[in-house]
Structure 1
Amino acid sequence: MPSIIIAEDHSVLRMGVKIIIGAIYPEAYIREADSFYQVLELLREEACDLLLLDIQLPGGGHPRMIAEVREIRPATPILVFSNFDEETHAMSYLKAGACGYLQKTAPPETVQDAIRTVLGGAPWISTPMQSRLLGHFPKSKSTEFSTLSPREFEVMQMMIRGASNPEIKAALNIQSSTLSTFKAKIFGKMGVNNIIELAGKVNAYPVRPETRL
């Protein structure tokens, strides 16, 4: 029975999301928040398996929301739920540490897929956003990145940002053995032997800074 916080200031939309979640997790433990202040209070009271976060909540509206949540619950998976255009706003929240970015205009099936994915321990990145990320790499090299799974891509980005093993494990809620497996697969697919070589290879590609997670 997953524990989920729906952080949304419109009661009708909260009700709709509850119905969508109930269709796949009938016994889910759901708490609701209509402001970012209430989100933080709920997290102080009790952890959750997923935070579905409207970034336009009163008291929010900026990527620092992710860091503030992490200060209280470092391992909480955060799925951003927003009216803001994904192409324009998703990157800043993914960089900040969100596990996915979902637009409110998405059909119920997509919402369910995103929730299942994040609850399953993987990041949720829409197909258009994945294409956008890969599209910034040279065509001759993009195949190396396209072989990475979404979770491997996320682990790689954390590694080259200098995140420690404990930080990666806490942020992604994975075990040491799982992280070791991810690293081995990333090194193999990218054709490198260590993090220094990996960072050098990635940073050598002409990717605009704002596109790096």
Structure 2
Amino acid sequence: MPDPTETTGPTGTTEPSPAPIRVLVVDDHQVVRRGLRTFLEIQDDIEVVGEAADGPTAVDRAKELGPDVILMDVKMPGGDGVEALRRLRECGHPARVLVVTSFTEQRTVVPALRAGAAGYVQKDIDPEALAGAIRSVHAGHVLLEPAIAQALLAQDSGGGAGRAGSLTERETEVLALIARGRSNREIARALVLSEKTVKTHVSNILMKLDLADRTQAALWAVRNGLAGD
């Protein structure tokens, strides 16, 4: 009987199925955590590995469980999501954080994005759309509504401004694709490069422009006219 974790490749050989996306759910309301878990656990490619009710616990659980994606509420008693995002960045945790919140005001969402979130969705999002958002940020995309992107640009102090000349032609191409929401895999395919090479280019871009993450890089590219149509 075939192993359900394997798929048949083009040559007829069996290949391991991709590992599920490991998700940590962070919200101070148990009913919200339970609802998210109930829906996500029926997704074949998503696995809920744990929960947390506040920011400090979320950081500890992230270090313990190693999730790929963290669904993070912003306002929680005992430690909010923005501070948790900062602590995750400081410790170099690789998880992509998707803010799931009922607060959509710029003064609430913008600090979370500037602290390193890969995007945000509202708590009343359609369940299938939430699963899609998880897959999207896991693939390296940045999820920003136009109004929030404009708010980030307006608040940007200009980090990296004037340094475009320090980028190589290839790095400029990679940056333009980051601004269009492409993942490393998609950039590699578009430019006929290995993913490892793309990761190196991304690291160099962030270093040269003195930026912290892909979100800031995407915004820098938009501000400097590299995003294209």
1:8-61 residue CA offsets vs partner (Å, 9 max, x unmatched): 111111111113322333661420111222212212323111111111122223
The RMSD of aligned alpha carbons is 3.9
Bigger RCO (CA 8 Å, 6+ sep): 1
Please name the residue that 1:152 is paired with. Answer: 179
Is this contact kept in 2: 1:86–1:101, CA < 8 A? Answer: no
Q: What SS is found at the alignment partner of 2:121?
A: strand
1:20 is aligned to 2:47 = no
Residue 128 of structure 1, CA deviation: 5.3
Number of positions where the alignment pairs a residue of Structure 1 with one of Structure 2: 164
Residue 65 of structure 1, CA deviation: 2.4
Pick the structure with greater CA Rg: 2
Take 1:52 and 1:21, find their aligned partners in 2: how far apart are those partners?
11
**Identical amino acids, percent of aligned pairs:** 23
Structure 2, unaligned runs of 5 or more:
1-19, 155-174, 183-193, 211-216
1:85-122 residue CA offsets vs partner (Å, 9 max, x unmatched): 15442222111111111111222232122111012222
Q: What TM-score does the superposition give when structure 1 sets the normalisation length?
A: 0.61
Please name the residue that 1:125 is paired with. Answer: 144
1:178 is aligned to 2:206 = no
Please name the residue that 2:189 is paired with. Answer: none
Is this contact kept in 1: 2:56–2:84, CA < 8 A? Answer: no
1:60 is aligned to 2:79 = yes
Please name the residue that 2:55 is paired with. Answer: 36
Take 1:10 and 1:35, find their aligned partners in 2: how far apart are those partners?
10
Q: What SS is found at the alignment partner of 2:42?
A: helix
Is this contact kept in 1: 2:101–2:123, CA < 8 A? Answer: yes
1:80 is aligned to 2:107 = no
Q: Which has a greater percent of helix?
A: 1
Structure 1, unaligned runs of 5 or more:
137-146, 156-173, 187-193, 205-213
Q: What TM-score does the superposition give when structure 2 sets the normalisation length?
A: 0.57
